[in-house]
Amino acid sequence: MNRNLLFTILIVSLFSTGLFAQITLTSDYLPTAGDKIEISVAENFTDLVLPSGGNHDVDFSGLTETDSYTQTYLAASESELQDSFPTANLVLVDSQTGGSLFYFSDANTYDYIGFIGEQYLGIDVPVKMTPSAPVTRRKAPFNFGDLFDGDFDVSLSFDANQLPDTLFASSPIKPDSIKISIVSHTTNIAEGFGIVKIPGGEYDALRIKSIETRNTKVEGKLGTIWIDITSFLPFDGLGDVTIESYAYYSNETVTPILTVTLDTDKNISGVSYKKNELGTFNTSVDFVKPNLNITPNPVIDSSVLNFSNVTKGDYEVKIFNVLGREVWSNQYKIAGSKKITVDFSSLRRGTYLYSLIDSSGKTISTKRLLVLRP
């Protein structure tokens, strides 16, 4: 169905269902620093049916939580990784991925800027994902019948030594390195509205349908030749896929009230919903404690040790590899806040943990450090 025909059908639906029955999503549904929201994941949805578009009510109040995860939004300036995405003003720390997603957000748009984490496709490997251009995730104001597109284009490269050998068990080659290219286009259209009931509450919501067409290609380099090995890798979602999902949004919260994903046969394959009785929190509490951040992070050669709110005394900074072996340490006299430039060129590429330790041997904080090499 082409876009003009789809838009015409929506306009007809608009007047047949009542112009004043639907809500307008405002900047209230766009995330801001300080929002902490828990999402519930359900599995008992096999008998549920997703209504067609237009004016409709949804009763998913019988869902049972089988898992949950937390989303924490902070100002990007409060992240030690901000230097990697200087245009971002918001960061989402996601317990599902263990990584940090960076966004630009204002009163009218919420755009994805990039991602840094230590896991990709379930593999423990440092990754920095920077699309060729910001990807719009939400817009405001947004009404029934409105639509917007989002294009995503990114390329990732990994040394094969960073990856488990089992990954290439079915591949005709054992590559020296691999390159993952992801290109996707998503159309988001507000095609429904009504009352949504979930466990613990009900909301006046606008439903946004998203259809993403995505191609993920994996190439292996052998010598000077790149070979397509996409079909030989043990991952779902590679190659060409189309993903259809529906998200109900309300001005009462910045997270979707209800998100429903369909499989290729148009059956419901996944459901998540807002876990109620949670709201915003004051992030400043975490930042008045004694703290050490290393920036930039990931580091290539030199970085800055940023000490803040540290009681006067003798301290030691230690860096450990993933096996728990100490690979670097140094002692400092600190009082309050201080910045010290350090050369980390001796560290090999990989993931580390760094700790701030006081004179009694007590560990005050431990965080992750990513080391990259050109």
Give pLDDT tens digits for 268-316.
Answer: 888 999 988 644 333 333 334 677 888 888 888 888 898 887 888 899 9
Q: According to the model, what pLDDT value does residue 95 have?
A: 63
CA distance linking residue 80 with residue 270, whole number of Å: 34
Q: Which residues of 76-99 are buried (b: 16+ CB within 10 A; e: fewer)?
A: beebbbbebbeebbbbbbbeeeeb
What's the pLDDT at 113?
96
The answer to whether the bond into 164 is cis (omega within 30° of 0) is no
**Average pLDDT of span 236-262:** 91
CA distance 191 to 210: 10
Q: Is 21 helix (H, G, I), strand (E, B) or coil?
A: helix
Predicted local confidence at residue 73, as pLDDT: 87
> Quick one: pLDDT at residue 59?
92
CA distance to 257, 261, 309, per residue, from 195 (Å):
11, 19, 48
Percent of the chain surpassing pLDDT 90: 40
Ramachandran sector of residue 291 (left: φ over 0; alpha: ψ -120 to 50; beta: rest): beta
User: 177-198 and 58-59 as β-strands: parallel, antiparallel, unpaired?
Assistant: parallel
Q: What is the mean pLDDT of residues 342-356?
A: 86
**What integer is the mean pLDDT of 259-274?**
88
Torsion (CA) 7, 12, 15, 16 in degrees, nearest 10: -140
List 308's β-bridge partners, or say none: 291
Closest to 152 measured CA to CA, from 183, 181, 179? 183
Enumerate residues 6+ apart whose C-beta is below 8 A from 264: 242
Does the pLDDT value for residue 2 go beyond 70? no
Reply yes or no on whether the pLDDT at 98 is more than 80: no
At 239-251, the pLDDT tens digits run 999 999 999 999 9
Name the residue with higher pLDDT: 207 or 300.
207
Query: What is the pLDDT, as a whole number, of residue 16?
Result: 43
H helices of the chain, in order, are 3-17
Q: What percentage of residues in the chain have a pLDDT greater than 70?
A: 87
Tokens 């580390």 correspond to 352
Supply the pLDDT for residue 14. 43
pLDDT at 277: 63
Q: Alpha-carbon distance 208 to 56, whole Å?
A: 13
User: pLDDT band for position 255 (50/70/90)?
Assistant: confident
What structural domains does the chain harbor? Answer: 3-274 (no CATH), 288-371 (2.60.40.10)
| pLDDT band per the 50, 70, 90 thresholds, residue 88 | very high
Check whether 17 has a pLDDT greater than 70: no
First to last CA, the chain: 46
Strands 177-198 and 147-159: what pairing?
Answer: antiparallel
- Asked whether the beta carbons of 20 and 130 are under 8 A apart, the reply is no
Average pLDDT over residues 118-142: 85
Closest CA to 304 of 324, 332, 325, 285: 332
- The mean per-residue pLDDT over the stretch 305-332 comes to 86
Q: Mean pLDDT over residues 49-74, rounded?
A: 86
Mean pLDDT, range 225-235, rounded to an integer: 87
Please give the Cα distance from 116 to 131 (Å, whole number).
12
> In the chain, what's the furthest Cα-to-Cα distance?
73
Site of tokens 């089988």: 66
Under a CB-based contact definition with an 8 Å cutoff, are residues 186 and 210 in contact?
yes
Q: Give the Cβ contact number of residue 156 at 10 Å.
A: 16
Identify which of 210, 196, 205 has the alpha carbon closest to the alpha carbon of residue 249.
205
- In degrees, to the nearest 5, what angle opens at C-alpha 164 toward C-alphas 158 and 165? 110
Cβ contact 217:153 at 8 Å: no
